[in-house]
Amino acid sequence: MKINVLENQGVTAPNGFSAGSAMAGVKTPGRYDLTIVYSTVPATMAAVFTENIVRAAPVTVSQAHLKANQGRGRAVVFNSGCANACTGDKGAADAAQMTQTAAEALGCSGEEVLVASTGVIGAYLPMDKILAGIGAAAAAMDEKGGGTAARAIMTTDLIPKEIAIELEAGGKTVTIGAMAKGSGMIHPNMATLLAMVTTDCAIEAGLLREALGEACDATFNMVTVDGDTSTNDSLFVIANGAAGNEVLRGSADAGYREFVEGLTYVCKHLAQLIARDGEGATKYIEMKVEGAKSRQDARLAAKAVVGSSLVKAAIYGKDANWGRILCAMGYSGADFDPDAVDLYIGDVQMMDKGKALIFDEAAALVWLEKDEVRILAKLNGGEGEATAWGCDLTHEYVTINGSYRS
Amino acid sequence: MKINVLENQGVTAPNGFSAGSAMAGVKTPGRYDLTIVYSTVPATMAAVFTENIVRAAPVTVSQAHLKANQGRGRAVVFNSGCANACTGDKGAADAAQMTQTAAEALGCSGEEVLVASTGVIGAYLPMDKILAGIGAAAAAMDEKGGGTAARAIMTTDLIPKEIAIELEAGGKTVTIGAMAKGSGMIHPNMATLLAMVTTDCAIEAGLLREALGEACDATFNMVTVDGDTSTNDSLFVIANGAAGNEVLRGSADAGYREFVEGLTYVCKHLAQLIARDGEGATKYIEMKVEGAKSRQDARLAAKAVVGSSLVKAAIYGKDANWGRILCAMGYSGADFDPDAVDLYIGDVQMMDKGKALIFDEAAALVWLEKDEVRILAKLNGGEGEATAWGCDLTHEYVTINGSYRS
């Protein structure tokens, strides 16, 4: 299957989408911190939210709207600088008011609008600024507004994260655009604070939800920065049918697998960008596990390695301390035989069938000095495989998170 | 119940115990790195080992000896500087040879000796040095050798960790001594690399195991430094009956509760010392959860908070970013109502029944500037409570673990 990447495009790449952003001044004046992504025609929506039982107000409001509206919807309002989490009834009312104000400005119903917030937990939204920002963002709606939208959702991210692709599905060209923010409080079960996917594919809401779950499972749920699953994690998709394909209604329909593959492609791209741009990160880590008894065992093992503070610190220090890698797989919950494991950093083998090898430290250092460190464990116990992404643990991570509120 | 702490004493405080240490030069010449703790009379033993499925050779050898000998034993040999983990058949043979060599020097059977190693994973023991060290340690057996033994098991620990207490049990004075090393790769399900408890209490092996499990559950299993459960975690207890009390055989026997309380006391002391001396730590964190639906819910919530990189970094930075505390409890797996939570740092309340309070930042800073930061969450949902201990995440932790092998 051919996937055509559209350079420098994001959520407004698909037909029938626009985005408007504003400098609301939630936390820092003079930077974009509020954005609305909008389908100009009626659309279906799906979302995956945090599994943290402490759910921010925008999460509960978005869940309620999706349910009430049976997966139909038009827009998502995002703000950065304040997470509107741990804010009780007032927070819930504030989040609902954001959707209502956006709906009035856009000319749709409040339930067609979802909402997402990111930033400090436990602070109330400055509603005067937020509502003025929503008005300004709605007035700034632009079919080329995706790039600014991707910047508006950033917090400690250093680079905006967006992608757009084209593919053929059901005889039509379908476009998928997406953006995300990540950086900290990033851990599987929703591994990104906020991500938004748009597509002009025509697809029924239930099937869209299924497709999103499959894509998320292999991508956002395989990235970790610090092991902290946030209160606000939200991944949204809007599909507006503007591509003109026959509506996808079942997983056997022509074009569905292509659509899922495309959706997975953009989610994987963003998940990897989040790992690369982890707070304080100097190195991107890709951990691949092969030969596990099941895919789930492979997932557990791979995620534990990229989540281990000790592995992450060793990679920061370019130290081929591979025992920590095996140790992390060992406590991951994955079922495997330690005496069957082959382990590699780059192409240097450290362990052969569970036994330590005398390896060339200089050769290992060549691989550890790269910006991208690739680790491979062959468990030699089955066919399960998985890849997880993460970053190193650095002095800068500690600096950033020792003074996040300041 | 009265517990009398014996100042500056450890594993050789109880009657009938001695310890001998040696400078084997496993990793660094000129420091004690090998020790044997020995009961001069036959004794019962119990142990708790790592739940990591990657188990170091000394763990599997010790498990086999305990089982073969039905909980009878006399001695434990410890070395630091090399963990003898991921070392395959040769590692297992090396660990077994350590016990056999020690047994010959001490005049007991190999199965009466257990073994524990700590240090780099994936390296073979320098057996010539180790065996010479065992001979030297056995020759140096001393009834006052506990203090040196506590130093010999240190790796990145900054202070040796030992304690001894006396208590009355079954009409006799029973003494319990203990030592531990901790510092890194420390996480619940055995949270310490190595710990050793000695007692002159007379207690049957099965009941000793039960007592150790109960004490460990509330102490070592509630401390975390970095979330990494090691391959070598081992907690041993030897009980030699020299106190002359009637042998404890069942949990209803007079003196048993006192013994468990004393055992818990020494384990808690060492667990707290491990948290205080966590790698790179500048602050000790005590997280107490009250009012949980069950003790297990309280344990999960408390452990997640002291295990959160974001909470730990915020405390390092003296930042009252309490939202991260609630967030960590939220993803812990504990069942609670976020809208019922009261949260305090020191005596400053941050949250009341799930709602953020406007608190005095200067007052919070007074508590955050202390070396010991105490956090309290009242979940207001039941009677379960638990306390977990940990330390902050610092630049120094990253420095230490970026170059551990060097």
Whether ipTM > 0.85 holds is: no
**Nearest by CB: A120 against B85, B323, B400:** B323
Residue A401 near residue B317, CB atoms below 8 Å: yes
Residue A57 near residue B338, CB atoms below 8 Å: no
Which residues in chain B are contacts of A123 at CB distance < 8 A? 356
Q: What residues of chain B score a pLDDT lower than 50?
A: 188-192, 406
How confident is the model at residue B156, as a pLDDT?
74
* pTM of the full structure: 0.79
Is the Cβ pair A313, B401 closer than 8 Å?
A: yes
Residue A153 near residue A32, CB atoms below 8 Å: no
B281 touches chain A (CB under 8 A): no
A293 touches chain B (CB under 8 A): no
From the CA of A323, how many Å to the nearest CA of chain B?
5
- Rounded Cα distance between A315 and A332, Å, is 19
B309 touches chain A (CB under 8 A): yes
Sign of CA dihedral B56, B61, B67, B72: negative
Is the Cβ pair A321, B52 closer than 8 Å?
A: no
Between these two residues, A355 and B352, which has the higher pLDDT value?
A: B352
How confident is the model at residue B123, as a pLDDT?
86
Is the Cβ pair B398, A338 closer than 8 Å?
A: no
Residue B252: burial class (beta carbons within 10 Å; 0-12, 13-18, 19+): exposed
Which residues in chain B are contacts of A189 at CB distance < 8 A? 331
**Nearest by CB: A310 against B184, B314, B322:** B184
How confident is the model at residue A201, as a pLDDT?
93
Average pLDDT of the residues in A2-31 = 93
From the CA of A4, how many Å to the nearest CA of chain B?
38
Cβ contacts of A10 within 8 Å, gap of 6 or more: A146, A147, A149, A150, A162, A163, A164, A177, A178, A179
How confident is the model at residue A324, as a pLDDT?
86
A273 pLDDT above the threshold of 50: yes
Interface size, chain A vs chain B, as Cβ–Cβ contacts under 8 Å: 218
Q: pLDDT tens digits, residue range B300-355?
A: 999 999 988 889 989 999 988 888 898 889 888 899 998 899 999 999 999 999 88
Of A280, A272, A11, nearest to A153 (Cα)? Answer: A11
Is the Cβ pair A53, B323 closer than 8 Å?
A: no
How confident is the model at residue B9, as a pLDDT?
94
Is the Cβ pair A402, B317 closer than 8 Å?
A: yes
Is the Cβ pair A329, B228 closer than 8 Å?
A: no
Is the Cβ pair B338, A404 closer than 8 Å?
A: no
Is the Cβ pair A54, B351 closer than 8 Å?
A: no
Q: Give B286's strand partners.
A: B374, B389
A49 pLDDT above the threshold of 80: yes
Active-site option among B12, B118, B155, B192: B192
CA-to-CA dists, residue A143 to A5, A31, B182, angstroms: 18, 21, 58
Is the Cβ pair B321, A185 closer than 8 Å?
A: no
Is the Cβ pair B228, A122 closer than 8 Å?
A: no
A312 pLDDT above the threshold of 80: yes
Which residues in chain B are contacts of A350 at CB distance < 8 A? 122
How confident is the model at residue A404, as a pLDDT?
59
How confident is the model at residue A226, as a pLDDT?
67
How confident is the model at residue A193, as a pLDDT?
67
B60 classed as catalytic: no
Least confident of A66-70, A151-155, B139-143: A151-155
**How many other C-beta atoms lie within 10 A of the C-beta of residue B28?**
10
> Cα A11 from chain centroid?
14
Is the Cβ pair A310, B228 closer than 8 Å?
A: yes
Average pLDDT of the residues in A69-95 = 92
Of A190, A91, A155, nearest to B331 (Cα)? Answer: A190
A231 pLDDT above the threshold of 80: no
Give the DSSP H or E segment for B379.
none
How confident is the model at residue B184, as a pLDDT?
60
Kindly state the tokens that stand for A126.
């400055």
**Nearest by CB: A323 against B86, B187, B320:** B86
Mean pLDDT of chain A: 90
> Cα B180 from chain centroid?
6
**Nearest by CB: B330 against A53, A328, A356:** A53
Task: Name residues 221-280 of chain A within 8 A of B (Cβ).
Answer: 226-231
Is the Cβ pair B327, A394 closer than 8 Å?
A: no
Task: Name residues 161-200 of chain A within 8 A of B (Cβ).
Answer: 184-185, 187, 189
From the CA of A57, how many Å to the nearest CA of chain B?
12
Is the Cβ pair A355, B86 closer than 8 Å?
A: yes
Average pLDDT of the residues in A94-101 = 98
B358 touches chain A (CB under 8 A): no
A6 pLDDT above the threshold of 90: yes
Of A131, A125, A126, nearest to A36 (Cα)? Answer: A131
How confident is the model at residue A185, as a pLDDT?
59
Which residues in chain A are contacts of B52 at CB distance < 8 A? 327, 330-331
- Rounded Cα distance between B115 and A306, Å, is 31
Which residues in chain B are contacts of A121 at CB distance < 8 A? 321, 323-324, 326-327
A7 touches chain B (CB under 8 A): no
Pairing of strands A234-239, B342-345: unpaired
Active-site option among A192, A224, A387, A394: A192
From the CA of A53, how many Å to the nearest CA of chain B?
5
- Residue from B60, B193, B228 whose CB has the most chain A CBs within 10 Å, to mutate: B228
**Nearest by CB: A321 against B318, B350, B405:** B405
How confident is the model at residue A222, as a pLDDT?
82
Which residues in chain B are contacts of A83 at CB distance < 8 A? 323
Least confident of A247-256, A322-331, B291-300: A322-331
Kindly state the tokens that stand for B79.
């070395």
Cβ contacts of B340 within 8 Å, gap of 6 or more: B353, B354, B379, B380, B381
How confident is the model at residue B368, as a pLDDT?
92
